[in-house]
Amino acid sequence: NVRSSLIQGSIIAAIILIPFLLNWRILAVCLLDFFLTLLFGLLVLSWLGVGLNTMTLGGLAVAIGTAIDDAIVYGENTYRRLRENKADGDPLTPLEIIFEGSQEVRDSLLGATIIGIIVFSPIFTLPGIEGKIFTPMGIAYLAVVVVSSLESLLVSPALCAILLPATKVTQREPWLARFCKAIYSACLNFAMKSPLLIMGIATVLTVASIVVIPSFGRAFLPEFQEQTMVNTLISYPTVSLEGSTKAGYVVEESLKNDKRFEFIQTRAGRAAGDSEAAGVNVAHVDIELTKLGMQDREESLKVMRKAFEQIPGAAANIGGFLQHRMDEVLSGVRSSIAVKIFGSDLAELRKVGQQIEQQMKTVDGVVDLQLEPQLPVPQIQIKFDRDAASRYGHTVGDLSETIETALNGKVVSKVLENQQSFDLLVWLKPEARQNLDTIRNLLIDTPDKQKIPLGSIAKIEEGTGPNTIGRENVSRLIVVSANAKGRDIRSVVTEIESKVKSNVQLPTGYFIQYAGQFEAEERATQNILVFSAIAFVAITVLMYLSVKSIPSTLMIMINLPIALVGGVIAVALTGGVISVASLVGFVSLFGVATRNGLLLVDNYNTKYAEGMPMKDIIVKGSMERLNAILMTALTSGLGLAPMVFQGGSGQELLQPLSIVVFGGLFTSTAITLLVLPALYSKFGKHLFPKKEEETKPEQFFMHM
């Protein structure tokens, strides 16, 4: 799905350029530059040992906008200069125009690339599983960005020198460019005449977005749209293998005639040597969804849960393989929410766990609720008399080994039969292992070759004890686990915390720890915000070194939050939940807005250095960048459209990111084309660098 979206996005981006340029030579320059960038980006990934997967392909898809932006800025600027040169009374040669066009945009492109790298750097600081997921995407994105910058500096001039000198340049721009400029001219004049209104609207939208953000739900990552569900059905510890299997068969019978389910299979218990060892009271019910079931996956899972609810006294956990694995890595349990109660007494732990379970039942959105089944089970308890054992020359370790052999068995040899090897196990007969008298009369060899009954050195009786004892960081614990449906996980956990704090009294020395996906989301969000703030400061410094004006730098940086308005609106329209993937989208969007702002302001400064009047600086500087900005916005936005609107399996992580960037491109473009001109119209005389500070960005960027 991601690969097809990348291909579709690239084709859409290429098609958009045609009506804006309507010249096959300059179109060839832009497209060759773009596709060579993707090709060399893939080669760089290969050299770095980074394979192609969902996230690296997603990084390439997100980088489409930057790659084609570099190609457009250089190619469109050169073609425009050739058109203007033809109307000049003393025209230069095409190669001279190509060289001057390269010099004109070289420095701003290089600066924008450096800033883009810094903007994306917080992605590489993500810890844990979120870092493992998004780092490949960041590597792919930066590989394309760096290659794109080098392409624009080295390959694009060569392509222009080969293809453009012989081109027939018309003085009239293509019809679409003229149409866009006619509309934009009216909007630009309005922005210049009413700058306070434009800035007021931008401020209101920004403040409204900031106010709305806290009301959004929070999630770690979107739910994976897995087709195979690996479900767990946990019964009481005393339930037999046959009982667990029958419970699974009840689910099978309930769903077997439903066309939303392809196949259902039940497995009970997992061997002691298995990496996921489980008792015979644990049944794994694997269910494959059909295409019909995947069309409304939420409803299919709802039907599935109802089937599991038919089993009295059993707790079900519904989820896919990837989801379970991620939950286990994050919290140690196969659920997105884990409430861990720590303490010393097992009975007290279970009592507190039951109270918390009752509180969680009242929370809307909680599903698959389960209190860890630490229950007393019948046991044969053997308590050694250490003094008596020592009189016969025995240690507790020696005796334990003998008893383990008798009751649990011990491999003493191998048997080869039909080319297969089988363990030869020595232990008591099954009926003997359940008979207290037989165990008491079990003869133990002493060091002096005597034989004594086990009952003479140990007390053997029936009793009860916990089926399992959970520990974490040396402390005993019991876990109440659950998943969230119909609500974002952050709001569910917040309500659970509130109800537990109000209604559950913890004994002295006992404490609760909330773990799971929300904990990872909180950690990732904090990480991105902190390092994004550091990146913001670094970008501000670089921006000043580029535009050489503190007021101008502040205007660009203060207006960047307006670019996020579109992303916030997009999130609100698609469910109102912000995940780590959405935050990565906001980081990408921040880079796009910074890049466009720098390119436009640099053009203003160039016009100012040429001595143009203020109005001409704004009008001509904005008009010259209009086509490039529109082409970049359209190619970037529509290039991501397949991932935004298709979604589905394989694109769960990339769709929220793409939605944010797609929505944010609208406000980012509006900032560049309307808000910045309005600011310069109102405060222009304070925004340009002073005469003694006038310098091209190359004085900084070319010496880095």
We report the CATH number of the domain holding residue 264 as 3.30.70.1430
Q: Are residues 406 and 441 in the same domain?
A: yes
Q: Which residues pair with 476 in a beta bridge?
A: 343, 471
**What is the C-alpha to C-alpha distance for residues 304 and 455, in angstroms, rounded to an integer?**
52
Q: Which helix (H) or strand (E) holds 613?
A: none
Which pLDDT score is estimated for 149?
85
Contacts of residue 218, Cβ cutoff 8 Å, sequence gap at least 6: 488, 489, 490, 491, 518, 521, 525, 577, 578, 579
**What is the C-alpha to C-alpha distance for residues 608 and 693, in angstroms, rounded to an integer?**
13
553: tokens are 């730098």
Helix, strand, coil abundance in the chain, percent, nearest 5: 65, 15, 20
Q: Which residues of the chain have pLDDT under 70?
A: 1-2, 87, 89-90, 166-171, 271-277, 647-648, 689-704
Q: Are residues 19 and 162 in the same domain?
A: yes
**What is the C-alpha to C-alpha distance for residues 272 and 425, in angstroms, rounded to an integer?**
15
Q: Are residues 368 and 394 in the same domain?
A: no
Is residue 632 within 8 Å of residue 68, measured between CB atoms? yes
Specify if 647 maps to a domain: yes
Q: Are residues 395 and 326 in the same domain?
A: no
Max CA separation in the chain (angstroms): 121
Q: Model pTM? A: 0.78
Q: Are residues 563 and 415 in the same domain?
A: no
What is the residue type of 395? T
Is residue 9 within 8 Å of residue 38, measured between CB atoms? no
Which pLDDT score is estimated for 694?
47
- Read off the CATH number of the domain in which 587 is found: 1.20.1640.10
Q: Point out the domain boundary residue: 519, 550, 583.
A: 519
C-alpha closest to that of 20 among 634, 662, 666: 634
Which pLDDT score is estimated for 47?
92
Which pLDDT score is estimated for 62?
76
Q: Are residues 577 and 506 in the same domain?
A: no
C-alpha closest to that of 328 among 482, 462, 161, 516: 516
In 375-406, which positions are buried (b, 16+ CB within 10 angstroms) versus exposed (e)? Answer: beeeeeebebeeeebeebebeeeebeebbebb
Specify if 360 maps to a domain: yes
**What is the C-alpha to C-alpha distance for residues 641 and 214, in angstroms, rounded to an integer?**
27
Q: Are residues 20 and 147 in the same domain?
A: yes
Q: Which residues pair with 495 in a beta bridge?
A: none
270: left (phi over 0), alpha (psi -120 to 50) or beta: beta
Specify if 510 maps to a domain: yes
Is residue 540 within 8 Å of residue 686, measured between CB atoms? no
Which pLDDT score is estimated for 61?
75
User: What DSSP string describes 120-181?
Assistant: HGGGGG--HHHHHHHHHHHHHHHHHHHHHHHIIIIIHHHHHHHHSTT----SSPPHHHHHHH
Which pLDDT score is estimated for 89?
64
In this structure, what is the dihedral angle of CA atoms 582, 585, 590, 596, given to the nearest 10 degrees? Answer: -150
**What is the C-alpha to C-alpha distance for residues 355 and 341, in angstroms, rounded to an integer?**
11
Residue 173: Cβ within 10 Å count: 18
Q: Point out the domain boundary residue: 443, 466, 489.
A: 466
Secondary structure of 557-587 in HEC code, one letter for each residue: HHHHHHHHHHHHHHHHHCCCEECHHHHHHHH
497: tokens are 């915390």
**What is the C-alpha to C-alpha distance for residues 411 and 397, in angstroms, rounded to an integer?**
18
Q: Which helix (H) or strand (E) holds 232?
A: strand 228-234
Residues written for the chain: 704
Q: Are residues 441 and 554 in the same domain?
A: no
Q: Quote the number of domains for the chain.
A: 3
**What is the C-alpha to C-alpha distance for residues 25 and 30, in angstroms, rounded to an integer?**
9
Which pLDDT score is estimated for 153?
82
What is the residue type of 652? E
Q: Which residues pair with 217 in a beta bridge?
A: 577
Specify if 471 maps to a domain: no
Q: Which residues pair with 233 in a beta bridge?
A: 283, 316
Q: Are residues 452 and 481 in the same domain?
A: no
Q: Are residues 447 and 594 in the same domain?
A: no
Q: Point out the domain boundary residue: 426, 445, 466.
A: 466
Which pLDDT score is estimated for 110?
81
Q: Are residues 367 and 453 in the same domain?
A: no
**What is the C-alpha to C-alpha distance for residues 64 and 53, in angstroms, rounded to an integer?**
17
Which pLDDT score is estimated for 691?
53
Residue 25 is part of which domain span?
A: 2-220+520-701
**What is the C-alpha to C-alpha distance for residues 452 and 688, in angstroms, rounded to an integer?**
101
Specify if 136 maps to a domain: yes
Specify if 191 maps to a domain: yes
Q: Are residues 585 and 658 in the same domain?
A: yes
Specify if 193 maps to a domain: yes
What is the residue type of 489? I
| Residue owning tokens 């009301």 | 215
3-state SS, residue 510? coil
| Residue owning tokens 């989301």 | 521
* Pair type for strands 217-218 and 577-578: parallel
Which pLDDT score is estimated for 619?
92
Say how many CA atoms lie within 13 Å of 690 toward its Cβ: 3
Specify if 690 maps to a domain: yes
